[in-house]
Amino acid sequence: MPECNICAKKLKFLKNTTIQGPTGEYPAKDYECLDHGLFTIPEKPISEIWPWIKKDIEKAKAITL
């Protein structure tokens, strides 16, 4: 079970859903943290859904080093 990325408490599963990507919809799951609200987590890694994000993250790491 995933954890809240704010408080690290276990998230409660709510339902299966989808998110919109550049080439269509991708399966995802909605979870809830009682303190911090709704989280939608895709089943595929974000870098597979939006491949350019990985390049942007690498650029940001290079700038901050």
Query: What confidence score (pLDDT) does residue 64 get?
Result: 67
pLDDT tens-place string over residues 32-59: 999 999 999 999 888 788 887 777 777 7
The residues, any chain, with a CB within 8 Å of residue 55's CB and separated by 6 or more, are none
Question: Could you tell me which residue, 21 or 10, shows the higher pLDDT?
Answer: 10
Q: Cα(45)–Cα(54) distance, rounded to whole angstroms? A: 10
How long a stretch of residues is the chain? 65
CB of 42 closer than 8 Å to CB of 49: yes
Q: What is the pTM of this model?
A: 0.70
Q: How far apart are CA 48 and CA 15, in angstroms?
A: 22
